[in-house]
C-alpha cells in the first residue's frame, strides 16, 4: 500500500489532445492521431454492452475486453476526441485511465541469506525458518494447525504482482489453472504472464497465506488451501483500474472464495465519486466488487501505510503518486464522497497493521468505522522508538529476487502484509466451516478476533523517527471496536476450534 510521503516508483503517460480543422471549400482532413489510450466505458447498470460497443466502434475505438457481467468495456483508442464522441445512448460514463495507474508501495525486502537459511533449525511446524515468524504465534497458528491446515477446496485469489511458480514453498500451492495476468484489463493465462517480473510483492503475500509445510523455509497460515496468481501490477509497478476490474471478475468466475488486495486503485490516496474523472473508476470497481460478492467471494483489502485517519478525511497532500512531488496537489476540504479503494468499498474487509507488541504499526492507516480487523504487518522501528529499523520485527515470507531471478525468503512490512494474515485466517475459517456467505464469513472473522483497546491520548511509539517527533502522531477513537484495531487482532485458532 501507498505511503503518501514517499517518492513515486514510475511515471504514467498523460493523454494529449489534437483536433483536425476543416478547410474552406474542401473536406476536413482526418483528425491527428493521439496516443494509444485506455478507457473504461460503462453501459447503464443492468444493460448489456452491445450498444456501447457500437458507439465505441463509431468513435474509432477498439474493445479489448468485454465484461458483460457488469456492463463495462475496456477500450483503446488513438482518437483524441474519443471520450466526447463515444458519449450517448448506451453509454453511462467514460473515462481515460491514462495517468490513473497507482504505484504499488513495494517496500524494501530484507533477504535472509542462504547461510542463515541453511543453519536455521525449525520449530513447531518443522519449518526451518519458523522460529523467526513471530506473527504466526501472535495469531495462534500452531494451535490452529493442530485442528486443520486448510482445505484444498478453498482457493484464494492474490491480486498482486504475480507469484513465483518455481518457489519451493509455493510450487505445490498455486492453482495454476485459475491463475492469470490481468494487465491492461485483458486476461493472459500463460504461466510466464502471471509470474513476477519486476516485483516480489505478490510472492511475499502468497507465502503468508499458504506457504507449504514441507521442511523448507516458512509456513503459511493456511498451507492446505490453494492460491491463484491474479496479476494486476504492471512492470512499472502500477495498478490500473481496468486490471483491478479484470481481477475481481476473474476471481468471481473461477471459483475463488477469497481475494487479497494489498493495494489501492487510483494515483490519489482517495477516489472521489464527485470528481468527473474519478467517478467512472469508482463505478466500474464497485460493480466488479458487487459482482464478486454475488458469486460468493469475500474481498480483503489493506488499509494503507499513510498513518491516515480514513474516518476523518480532510486533506490529501501527496497525490497523485504518478508525478514528481513538485507537481503533486494539496487537495483540501475532502468529503465522504472520497474513498480509499478497494478498502472502503462496501462489503470489503479492511485490515490495519500491528507490530510484534500488538500495538498499531507506526505507519498503518486507521479509522473508526473503516477498519474491520487488524493483523500482524510488522513494525521495524518499535524497539528503538523510530531511531533505526530492526528487520526481525517485520514479516518473514517467501521472496523472488527480480534481478537474479532466484527464489528465497525475506522480510517486508506494511498493511500489505497484514491483509494476507487476515485472508489466511479467513481461508482457515472457510475450511473449517464451509458454506458461509461472504457476509457471514466477514462477521465470523470479526467475532473471533481478539479485541484491542485504544491507547490513551496521542499515540506515537516512534518519536525518534527521522521524519520528525510528531510525524506519526495518531489518535484512536471507539471502545471495544475502534479505529486502530477494528474488532481486534484476527485469531487462527478461534476460527477453527
Residues annotated as part of the active site: 160, 201, 416
> With b meaning 16 or more CB within 10 Å and e meaning fewer, what string describes 308-332?
bbbbebeebebbbbbbeeeebeebe
> Hey, what's the cell of 5?
510521503
130 closest CA partner among 148, 156, 147, 112: 112
CA distances from 283 to 72, 388, 424, 431, 449 (A): 10, 43, 29, 33, 32
Sheet strand arrangement including 37-42:
61-67, 72-77, 37-42, 93-96
Q: Which residue has the cell 504487518?
A: 377
CA distance 55 to 280: 17
SS3 300: strand
CA distance 170 to 207: 7
Give kind and range of the element (H or E) at residue 181: strand 180-181
Sheet strand arrangement including 180-181:
180-181, 226-231, 155-160, 258-261, 298-302, 349-354, 373-376
> With b meaning 16 or more CB within 10 Å and e meaning fewer, what string describes 39-78?
bbbbbeeeeebeebbebbeebbbeeebbbebbbbbbbbbe
> Hey, what's the cell of 451?
479485541
SS3 461: coil
Q: Is the peptide bond before 342 cis (omega within 30 degrees of 0)?
A: yes
Q: How far is Cα of residue 483 from the mean position of the Cα atoms in its chain?
A: 20
| Nearby residues of 286 by Cβ (< 8 Å), 6 or more positions away | 345, 346
Amino acid at each position: 500500500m501507498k505511503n503518501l510521503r514517499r517518492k513515486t516508483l514510475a511515471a504514467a503517460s498523460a493523454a494529449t489532445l489534437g483536433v483536425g480543422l476543416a478547410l474552406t471549400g474542401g473536406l476536413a482532413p482526418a483528425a491527428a492521431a493521439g496516443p494509444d489510450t485506455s478507457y473504461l466505458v460503462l453501459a447503464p447498470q443492468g444493460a448489456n454492452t452491445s450498444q456501447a460497443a457500437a458507439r465505441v466502434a463509431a468513435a474509432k475505438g477498439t474493445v479489448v475486453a468485454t465484461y458483460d457481467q457488469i456492463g463495462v468495456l475496456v477500450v483503446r483508442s488513438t482518437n483524441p476526441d474519443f471520450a466526447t464522441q463515444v458519449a450517448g445512448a448506451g453509454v453511462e460514463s467514460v473515462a481515460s485511465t491514462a495517468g490513473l495507474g497507482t504505484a504499488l508501495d513495494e517496500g524494501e525486502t530484507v533477504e535472509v541469506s542462504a547461510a542463515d537459511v541453511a543453519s536455521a533449525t525449525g520449530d513447531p511446524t518443522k519449518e526451518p525458518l519458523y522460529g523467526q515468524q513471530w506473527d504466526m504465534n501472535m495469531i495462534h497458528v500452531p494451535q490452529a494447525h493442530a485442528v486443520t491446515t486448510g482445505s484444498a477446496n478453498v482457493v484464494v485469489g492474490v491480486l498482486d504482482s504475480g507469484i513465483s511458480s518455481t518457489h519451493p514453498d509455493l510450487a505445490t500451492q498455486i492453482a495454476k489453472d485459475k491463475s492469470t495476468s490481468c494487465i491492461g484489463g485483458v486476461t493472459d493465462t500463460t504461466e510466464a504472464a502471471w509470474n513476477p517480473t519486476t516485483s516480489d510483492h505478490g510472492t511475499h503475500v502468497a507465502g503468508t497465506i499458504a506457504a507449504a509445510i514441507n521442511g523448507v523455509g516458512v509456513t503459511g497460515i493456511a498451507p492446505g488451501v490453494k492460491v491463484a496468481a491474479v496479476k494486476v501490477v504492471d512492470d512499472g509497478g502500477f495498478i490500473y483500474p481496468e486490471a483491478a476490474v479484470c481481477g475481481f471478475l476473474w476471481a468471481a468466475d473461477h471459483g475463488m472464495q477469497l481475494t487479497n488486495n494489498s493495494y489501492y486503485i487510483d494515483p490519489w490516496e482517495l477516489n472521489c465519486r464527485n470528481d468527473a474523472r474519478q467517478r467512472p473508476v469508482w463505478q466500474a470497481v464497485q460493480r466488479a466488487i458487487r459482482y464478486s460478492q454475488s458469486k460468493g467471494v469475500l474481498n480483503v483489502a489493506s488499509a494503507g501505510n499513510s498513518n491516515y485517519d480514513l474516518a476523518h478525511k480532510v486533506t490529501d497532500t501527496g497525490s497523485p503518486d504518478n508525478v514528481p512531488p513538485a507537481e503533486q496537489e494539496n487537495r483540501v476540504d475532502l468529503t465522504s464522497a472520497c474513498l480509499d479503494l478497494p478498502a472502503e468499498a462496501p462489503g470489503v474487509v479492511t485490515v490495519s497493521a500491528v507490530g510484534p507488541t500488538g500495538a498499531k504499526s507506526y505507519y498503518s492507516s486507521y479509522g473508526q468505522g473503516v477498519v474491520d480487523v487488524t493483523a500482524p504487518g510488522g513494525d521495524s522501528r518499535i524497539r528503538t522508538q523510530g531511531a533505526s529499523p530492526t528487520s526481525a520485527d517485520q514479516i518473514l515470507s517467501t521472496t523472488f529476487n527480480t534481478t537474479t531471478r532466484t527464489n528465497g525468503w525475506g522480510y517486508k512490512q506494511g498493511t500489505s502484509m497484514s491483509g494476507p494474515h487476515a485472508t489466511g485466517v479467513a481461508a482457515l475459517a472457510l475450511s473449517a466451516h464451509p458454506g458461509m456467505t461472504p457476509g457471514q464469513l466477514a462477521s465470523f472473522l470479526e467475532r473471533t478476533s481478539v479485541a484491542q483497546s485504544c491507547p490513551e491520548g496521542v499515540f506515537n511509539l516512534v518519536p525518534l523517527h527521522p521524519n520528525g517527533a510528531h510525524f506519526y502522531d495518531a489518535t484512536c477513537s471507539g471502545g471495544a471496536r475502534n479505529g486502530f484495531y477494528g474488532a481486534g487482532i484476527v485469531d487462527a485458532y478461534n476460527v477453527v476450534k
